Structure 1
């Protein structure tokens, strides 16, 4: 396994707030902002920078976002935000910066030409739940929990709502947003927030198996498919079929589709040449 690298390390910190490790096409990014892995400005900037790098790095096929400690992420750093209420504008500029950066981060995950898998062990709340919902796949432990609790403190989870309502069923998403109550892993799977639930001791093993399976596919095909998935899902049915049909035509004409089909017919392993 490749060496773990500490990123965006402050001078008073023993380790970086984001840890990076890459092995055989899989880039693992580990939130390391204890105790709650809050999505501070620094952590969101670090994540965004790493995703930018991953997007242009041909050696990266799949990205995994995990977390150190007992929580996946408790969302925005409320202490950091509250500290700016004393600013001349009451904190407006800082709040706007925080929400814009968060939105850009979530969009970066969606637009990344590589699949992103969330590996959740522990609580994912508010913007932490938003991060889970924004990833392409999510795998959690059987003791993980999820919530959008802003309503409990007078702050409706409006930005987490964007990702959650696109991952969970509409009424279940509204239930989470209106009650602010915590749901367990089984309920999160029923709602559509996560794909798989596994025992804690097997979490990383299962996630990395998924990542390795996906990393073995054509990177060009994955790029085409991921972009098409998110574009068509917002379209009316007929428009979606028209768009998807054109994507299939263009996909058929690219080098990896030709190679993959020939390899299948010749009963051999494909050798991918296309780049994401």
Structure 2
């Protein structure tokens, strides 16, 4: 039961996104989202689950085979396709879900951090937002989605004492945060999930402002190794783009 509790969210995401067997790349991508002892325990849990599934004949290949605890994915992090992002944007219709999407896509906030944001963390007047103790500027998109949500919150639950920014009909009567399932529900089944949007935002920062791990660590509070991986992926993507442009230019010159 402990293993299932640890893997519940990712198994739910995989089941909604795929109609085929989970691959080794899927496992490595998920392991990128956890660190330290949590990464080790997650890999152990996944390995146990897939080993049992293979033994029972449910799957043909164990995707956790030969993955070591310290092993990181060597592939380049790829940006999301624009149609996948647009699909996720179109799928969110409620004020709360729109704010959640903005927090992930603009501020690269994890679901846990989104759940913990307090009303006092949102400073409309000074256009600032505190996420995980880090002060971030409040951009126009997040500002407008936050204002729309606050208006909805006031109308729906005018007497709630819950100090969290995001609440629902259950937590409006309490003081705790909404559940992790509530945070991710709107994008379930989408390719551009909250986690993928968060990753894409950090990669975008590295592509736009340069593959500088120190900058990424400062903006998003990333660990050193994680910041280096995003910077390395951005560098390789930029180099590949430059090579493709040079090849096209050379081809045009040859045709003249």
Q: Under a length normalisation based on structure 2, what TM-score does the superposition of the two structures give?
A: 0.27
Higher strand content, 1 or 2: 1
Higher helix content, 1 or 2: 2
Name which structure has the greater RCO, CA cutoff 8 Å, separation 6+: 2
